Amino acid sequence: MKPFHSLVLSVKLTLLLLLILSGLYPFTVYILGKLLFPYQSAGSLIIDSQGHVRGSLLIGQNFESPAYFHPRPSASNYDGLSSGGSNLGPSSSDFIETIKKRAISYRKENEIAPSSLIPADAVCASASGLDPHISLKNALLQAPRVAKARKADLKAIENLILKNTQHPLANVFGEESVNVLKLNLELDKEYPLP
């Protein structure tokens, strides 16, 4: 085979693969996503009755008021454009100090005894920094603070949490979790701020 012929064949194959992998395949996936999963492909946005976007079920956002459930900490400050973790390992002194500070703050804001165990998701950011879920235990530990701030019955708030709990896939994979945005929107609907 002549070198020039090989070069021409290589260029043709490169252009063909470029057309397929950078054009046809993404276009096909985009169209199938829009047709088969329109809600998910649009970002799983939650839109209120006035037509305003309140957030996405897929991306965590910060809630700081005592009247709301708080999400996991975020290494990216809940910024979807700079998604990512801190990349600090468990032996890092910076990581250990950060976890200690978060644990003290979490226990203080939720009036939990210093010796009580708290869930890891209350003090550790997710790998993306944008996880929209917290564990069921984390939500239940926050319930007394939320009930007090909203002047609502604690049992009613706990029932709202349980109503919004997502169970593991096939009751095997994962753990029980709660989508913070969905829970807080439900909270505003059921128990408006005084």
Cα–Cα distance between 175 and 194 in angstroms, integer? 34
Quote the pLDDT of residue 43.
80
The answer to whether the beta carbons of residues 170 and 143 sit under 8 Å apart is no
Q: Same domain, yes or no, for 65 and 30? A: no
pLDDT tens by residue, 63-73: 989 999 999 99
Quote the pLDDT of residue 32.
92
Q: Same domain, yes or no, for 75 and 23? A: no
Q: Same domain, yes or no, for 34 and 50? A: no
The answer to whether the beta carbons of residues 69 and 183 sit under 8 Å apart is yes
Cα–Cα distance between 61 and 188 in angstroms, integer? 16
Beta bridge partners of 134: 178
Quote the pLDDT of residue 42.
82
Q: Tally the domains of the chain.
A: 2
Q: Same domain, yes or no, for 67 and 157? A: yes
Q: Same domain, yes or no, for 32 and 59? A: no
Angle at 54 between CA 111 and CA 79, to 5 degrees: 75
Q: Same domain, yes or no, for 105 and 135? A: yes
Cα–Cα distance between 2 and 47 in angstroms, integer? 62
Q: Same domain, yes or no, for 20 and 63? A: no
Report the number of secondary-structure helices (H) and strands (E) in the chain.
7, 5
Q: Same domain, yes or no, for 169 and 103? A: yes
Residue that is written with structure tokens 């945005």 in the block: 181
Q: Same domain, yes or no, for 107 and 58? A: yes
Instruction: Write out the H or E segment, with its range, that includes residue 40.
Output: helix 38-41
Cα–Cα distance between 91 and 95 in angstroms, integer? 8
Quote the pLDDT of residue 68.
95
Quote the pLDDT of residue 1.
59
pLDDT in tens, the chain (194 residues): 588 888 899 999 999 999 999 999 999 999 999 999 988 888 888 888 888 888 888 888 889 899 999 999 988 888 877 777 777 788 888 888 989 999 999 999 999 999 899 999 999 988 787 889 999 999 999 999 999 999 999 999 999 999 999 888 777 788 899 999 999 999 999 988 86
Range of the domain at 159: 45-190
The two tokens of residue 5 are 């012929």
pTM comes to 0.79
Nearest residue to 136 (alpha-carbon basis) of 185, 77, 180: 180
Q: Same domain, yes or no, for 22 and 99? A: no
